[in-house]
Structure 1
Amino acid sequence: MAKKQKFPYLLGSKWTSNQQTWGWRHFQVVNRKNQGKWVFAELVASCDPTVRFWLNAQQLKDRSLWQPGWQSTQELEEIE
């Protein structure tokens, strides 16, 4: 039986940071990397493609740090 892939829908997903990250809040996953038991996602700022960074994909599950999809500032305030 094939091993189940962690975070199968990661690539192409969109995320909103609850705090500004390198000056931006909206990001999209453009790459993924598996290293042993860890999965990493490369995020790119939606408004500035030069802003790129790798993040442990497990952190995207933490709703105090990240929200799925692109949320407006007003929506983020309602969540808090």
Structure 2
Amino acid sequence: MARKQRFPFLVGSQWTAQQQTLGWRHFRVVTRKNQGKLVFAELVAACDEQVRFWVNAEALRDRDLWQPGWQPLQAIAAAETAESD
């Protein structure tokens, strides 16, 4: 019986960084890499294909760092304002 793949829908998924990362907030996953029990995702900035980096896919589950989908920047700013009050 085949083992269940971790993060099966990783490639093609979209993410919003809670903090600017390399100058950008919106990224998409273009490649995945399995290394032993770890899964890594290559993220590319939505507005600049030259900005790319690898991240442990487990880090994408941390809502303090990443939100699934592309969140509107106004919503991010409103959440940051609410936290500082």
- Taking structure 1 as the reference length, the TM-score comes to 0.95
Equivalent residues in 2 for 1:21-60, closer than 5 Å: 21-60=21-60
Give the unaligned 5+ runs of structure 1: none
Displacement of 1:58 in angstroms is 0.2
Displacement of 1:38 in angstroms is 0.1
Q: In structure 2, how many angstroms separate the alpha carbons of the residues matched to 1:32 and 1:11?
A: 7
How big is the alpha-carbon RMSD for the aligned residues of Structure 1 and Structure 2?
Answer: 1.2
What secondary structure, in the 3-state scheme, does the structure 2 residue paired with 1:78 have?
A: helix
What secondary structure, in the 3-state scheme, does the structure 1 residue paired with 2:60 have?
A: helix
1:72 aligns with 2:85: no
Cα deviation 1:29-58 (Å, max 9, x = unaligned): 000000000000000000000000000000
Displacement of 1:16 in angstroms is 0.2
Displacement of 1:78 in angstroms is 3.1
Structure whose CA Rg is larger = 2
- Number of equivalent positions: 80
What secondary structure, in the 3-state scheme, does the structure 2 residue paired with 1:42 have?
A: strand
Q: In structure 2, how many angstroms separate the alpha carbons of the residues matched to 1:71 and 1:56?
A: 21
Give the unaligned 5+ runs of structure 2: none
Displacement of 1:72 in angstroms is 1.1
